[in-house]
A and B are shown apart, each in its own frame.
Chain A
Amino acid sequence: MSENKKNLILSVKDLEVKFKVRNKILTAIRRISMDFEEGKVVAIVGESGSGKSVFTKTFTGMLEINGMISNGEIWFEGRDLAKIKSDKEWEQIRGKKIATVFQDPMTSLNPVKTIGDQISEVIIKHQGKSKSEAKTMAIEMMGKVGIKNAEKRYDEYPFMYSGGMRQRIVIAIALACRPRILICDEPTTALDVTIQAQIIRLIKDLSQEYGFTTIYITHDLGVVANVADVVAVMYAGQIVEYGNVEEVFYDSRHPYTWGLLSSLPQLGEKGENLFAIRGTPPSLFEEIKGDAFAPRSNYAMKIDYEQEPPFFKVSDTHYAKTWLLDPRAPKVEPPAAVAHLHERMLALTSKGGIYGER
Chain B
Amino acid sequence: MSGNKEVLVEVKNVDITFGSGKKIFRAVTNASFNIYKGETFALVGESGSGKTTIARAIIRLNNTSAGEILFKGKKINGKLSKEDRTWVQRNIQMIFQDPAASLNERATIDYCISEGLYNFHLYKDEADRQRKVDDALNAVGLLPEHKSRYPHEFSGGQRQRVGIARAMIMEPEFIIADEPISALDVSIRAQVLNLMNKFKDERGLTYMFIAHDLSVVRYFADRIAVIHNGRIVEVAPALDLFRYPIHPYTQSLLQAVPMPDPKIEKAKQLKVYDNSVEEESADDGALTEIIPGHYIFMNEKQRSGFEAKLKEMKELEKNQ
Q: A residues near B, CB below 8 A?
A: 47-48, 163, 192-198, 200-201, 219-226, 228, 245-246, 249, 259-261, 263-266, 268-270, 273-277, 280, 341-342, 345-346, 348-358
* Tally of contact residues, B, Cβ under 8 A: 55
Chief secondary structure at chain A's binding surface: helix
Interface membership of B215, Cβ < 8 A:
yes
Contacts of B284 in A (CB 8 A): none
Q: How many A-B residue pairs have CB under 8 A?
A: 168
Closest to B157 in A: A280
| Chain B residues whose CB sits within 8 angstroms of the CB of A274 once the complex forms | 190, 193-194, 219
CB pair B317–A266 under 8 Å, yes or no, is: no
Residue of A nearest to B158 (CB): A280
CA distance A194 to B262 in the complex (A): 19
> Most chain-B Cβ atoms within 10 A of its Cβ — which of A261, A350, A352?
A352
Structural contact, B193 and A265, CB atoms closer than 8 A: yes
Interface residues of B in 188-242 (CB under 8 A from A): 188-191, 193-194, 197, 212-216, 218-220, 238-239, 242
Taking Cβ atoms with an 8 Å cutoff, the residues of B that contact A are 46-47, 155-157, 185-191, 193-194, 197, 212-216, 218-220, 238-239, 242-245, 251-270, 273, 312-313, 316-317, 320
Contact in complex: A280, B268 (CB < 8 Å) = no
Q: 5 tightest CB-CB pairs across the interface, nearest first? A: A222-B258, A268-B219, A276-B190, A221-B260, A345-B261
Query: Taking A219-B186, A273-B197 as contacts, is the C-beta distance between A354 and B265 under 8 angstroms?
Result: no
Partner of A260, one of B155, B186, B263: B186
| A277: B residues at CB distance < 8 A | 187, 190
Name the residue of chain B whose CB is nearest to the CB of A262: B190
In the complex, A226 Cα to B267 Cα: how many Å?
Answer: 9
Task: Tell me, in angstroms, the Cα distance from A200 to B258 when the chains sit together.
Answer: 10
**Nearest CB in chain A to that of B191: its residue:** A276
Provide the residues of chain A in CB contact with B242, threshold 8 Å: 348, 351-352
Residue of B nearest to A266 (CB): B215
With beta carbons under 8 angstroms apart, the residue of B197, B261, B268, B317 that contacts A341 is B261
Question: Contacts A260-B186, A352-B242, A352-B244 known; A225 to B259 CB distance under 8 Å?
Answer: yes
A-chain residues with CB within 8 Å of residue B264 when the two chains form the complex: 225, 342, 345-346, 349, 355, 358
A258 to chain B, nearest CB (A): 11
21 residue pairs A–B, Cβ–Cβ below 8 Å: A48-B185, A193-B213, A197-B255, A221-B186, A222-B260, A222-B265, A225-B258, A225-B264, A246-B262, A265-B218, A268-B193, A273-B194, A274-B194, A280-B188, A341-B260, A349-B259, A351-B317, A352-B254, A355-B264, A356-B267, A358-B267
CA gap between A357 and B156 in the complex, in Å: 39
Given contacts A47-B185, A355-B268, contact A264 B260 (CB under 8 A): yes
Provide the residues of chain B in CB contact with A259, threshold 8 Å: 187
Pick the most buried of B185, B214, B255, B316: most chain A CB atoms within 10 A of its CB. B185
Q: Contact partner of A266 among B156, B259, B312, CB < 8 A?
A: B259
In the complex, how many angstroms separate the beta carbon of B308 from the nearest chain A beta carbon? 13
B219: chain A residues at CB < 8 Å are 265-266, 268-270, 274
Q: Which residue of B lies closest to A264 (CB)?
A: B260
- Apart from A193-B213, A263-B189, A276-B191, 20 more pairs, CB < 8 Å: A47-B186, A48-B156, A163-B47, A193-B258, A194-B256, A194-B273, A196-B258, A198-B270, A221-B260, A264-B186, A270-B239, A273-B197, A341-B260, A342-B261, A342-B264, A349-B261, A350-B320, A351-B243, A353-B313, A357-B268
